[in-house]
């Protein structure tokens, strides 16, 4: 139920903001708006405000299906217009007005993202300390000399000046951008409790854009922040239960390997396909105990992995990240810009085949993330809303005829040539745009089903 409610609220809000952008600029420019609808299909509720701006008689509607919306304006191409109202028809407006009205929807989504990111920065958020878990064996991080327990003090791309790092999320975002944009990353790191710091260079420019998929961070080697190798809930009848492991056990050693963090232990368990029995040394109530543990073997994505049937790893140590009014707003603008560029580049790379189409997500994945973020609290839900709002804004700016970006391309043609796109060409382009959009939606839905049910 939480997933459904969170999804409906998210889509309803983002669509309403997008259409409000069109509506507000249209009204400000003197264009008559006939209907403002959030959702399609059967009308669930409608109303007309008693006080409206001069020349306006807008009906506001909530439709049954929330996956979209529209603003219907007076337009001679859609229905006859009385002579005394021709000056309020959209098609009779100057090019600059039509451009402003169309662009206002995506811009409203981007401004909403800025506001949401700023609200999170002002409110403050609990994030993991920038202390990394043990890198994946053979990964770029391990080959670069990183080790579990390394705390990232400062970081930068290539030869840029090192900037302070406040949380593990800063590290994750920096690595994501570097991998997708082809940058190497410099990290200034130190071990907690030890003096001195050292600099490490991670050659992420060697990653090909096509590798930017769900396994990206496994290739990089940094999967999460440092966590204590402590066991959580144990499934009854599982290998952990049969071996005598209990919730709260702190794992000190497996075989001849000293365990320093939960991620290292999880990776070791995954590598134990085949069911070999190993001696585990755990600390329980202040004393060390040796237990014999034999993981089960399970299939995962075409390969075999080990499982013990217990939650591995305590929650990471957290730090509060909060910024002042000016700095928070500045960071929000930068974050919105960075996410917009990243989204646009990924879309471009998918079009030319440099990135996998598996990166496309549809409504099922959005709904799943909406529920998960809402269950984590208001701040995480706001971050989720900001990310989707950026995606919606960027998507609508793509030069597809059925989207706002397509109409802006028509206006660009009109500005350059001095004449509008012919009705015949517009019809052809509309059909092509619908075909491309349907193909994208089909791929996204297939990816959703594969991720959630595959």
Q: Which residues carry out catalysis?
A: 19
Counting Cβ atoms within 10 Å, is residue 394 exposed (0-12), middle (13-18) or buried (19+)? buried
Quickly name the fold that domain 231-313 has: Pdz3 Domain (2.30.42)
Class of the 140-220 domain?
A: mainly beta
pLDDT tens for the 454 residues of the chain, in order: 677 888 888 888 999 999 999 999 999 999 999 999 998 888 888 888 888 888 888 899 998 887 788 999 998 888 888 888 899 999 899 999 999 999 999 999 999 999 999 999 999 888 899 999 888 888 899 899 998 889 999 999 988 889 999 999 899 888 888 887 888 999 999 886 566 788 999 998 887 755 555 577 888 888 889 999 999 999 999 989 999 999 999 999 998 888 888 888 988 888 887 778 889 999 998 899 999 999 888 877 667 888 899 998 888 888 888 999 999 999 999 999 988 888 887 777 666 555 555 666 656 566 665 666 767 778 888 888 998 899 889 888 888 888 898 889 989 988 989 888 877 887 887 787 777 777 767 766 666 566 656 5
* Residues whose CB is less than 8 angstroms from the CB of residue 291 and which lie 6 or more positions away in sequence, other chains included: 243, 244, 245, 279, 280, 282
* Residue in 124, 264, 118, 135 with CA at minimum distance from that of residue 187: 135
* Residue in 387, 370, 390, 360 with CA at minimum distance from that of residue 450: 360
Roughly what angle, to the nearest 10 degrees, separates helices 95-123 and 325-351?
120
E strands, 74-120, are none
* Residues whose CB is less than 8 angstroms from the CB of residue 112 and which lie 6 or more positions away in sequence, other chains included: 14, 17, 385, 386, 389
Under a CB-based contact definition with an 8 Å cutoff, are residues 2 and 375 in contact? yes
Domains 140-220 and 231-313 fall in the same CATH topology: yes
pLDDT score, position 336: 94
Q: Where are the domains of the chain?
A: 95-124+324-454, 140-220, 231-313
Counting Cβ atoms within 10 Å, is residue 92 exposed (0-12), middle (13-18) or buried (19+)? middle
pLDDT score, position 353: 58
């Amino acid at each position: 139920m939480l997933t459904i409610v969170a999804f409906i609220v998210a889509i309803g809000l983002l669509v309403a903001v997008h259409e409000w952008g069109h509506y507000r600029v249209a009204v400000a420019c003197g264009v008559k708006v006939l209907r403002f609808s959030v959702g399609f299909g059967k009308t669930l509720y409608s109303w007309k405000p008693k006080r409206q701006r001069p020349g306006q008689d807008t009906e506001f509607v909530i439709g049954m299906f929330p996956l979209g919306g529209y603003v219907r304006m007076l337009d001679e191409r859609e229905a006859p217009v009385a002579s005394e109202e021709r000056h309020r028809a959209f098609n009779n407006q100057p090019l600059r007005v039509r451009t402003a009205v169309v662009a206002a929807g995506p811009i409203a989504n981007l401004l909403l993202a800025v506001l949401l990111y700023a609200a999170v920065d002002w409110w403050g958020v609990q994030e993991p300390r920038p202390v990394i878990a043990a890198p994946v064996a053979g990964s770029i991080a391990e080959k670069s000399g990183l080790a579990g327990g390394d705390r990232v003090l400062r970081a930068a791309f290539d030869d840029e000046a090192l900037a302070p790092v406040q949380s593990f999320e800063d590290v994750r975002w920096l690595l994501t951008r570097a991998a997708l944009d082809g940058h190497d990353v410099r990290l200034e790191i130190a071990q907690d409790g030890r003096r001195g710091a050292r600099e490490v260079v991670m050659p992420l420019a060697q990653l090909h854009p096509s590798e930017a998929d769900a396994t990206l961070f496994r290739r990089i080697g940094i999967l999460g922040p440092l966590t204590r190798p402590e066991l959580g809930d144990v499934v009854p009848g599982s290998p952990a239960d049969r071996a005598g492991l209990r919730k709260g056990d702190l794992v000190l050693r497996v075989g001849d390997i000293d365990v320093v963090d939960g991620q290292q232990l999880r990776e070791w368990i995954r590598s134990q396909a085949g069911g070999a029995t190993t001696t585990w040394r755990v600390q329980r109530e202040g004393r060390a105990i040796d237990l014999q543990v034999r993981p089960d073997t399970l299939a995962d994505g075409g390969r075999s992995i080990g499982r013990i049937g217990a939650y591995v790893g305590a929650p990471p140590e957290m730090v509060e990240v909060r910024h002042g009014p000016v700095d928070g707003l500045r960071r929000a603008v930068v974050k919105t810009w960075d996410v917009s560029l990243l989204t646009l580049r990924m879309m471009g790379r998918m079009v030319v085949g440099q990135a996998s189409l598996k990166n496309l997500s549809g409504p099922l994945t959005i709904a799943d993330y909406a529920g998960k973020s809402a269950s984590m609290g208001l701040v995480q839900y706001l971050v989720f809303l900001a990310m989707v709002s950026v995606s919606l804004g960027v998507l609508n700016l793509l030069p597809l005829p059925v989207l706002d970006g397509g109409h802006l391309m028509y206006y660009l043609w009109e500005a350059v040539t001095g004449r509008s796109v012919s009705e015949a060409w517009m019809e052809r382009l509309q059909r092509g745009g619908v075909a491309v959009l349907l193909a994208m939606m089909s791929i996204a839905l297939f990816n959703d089903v594969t991720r959630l049910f595959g």
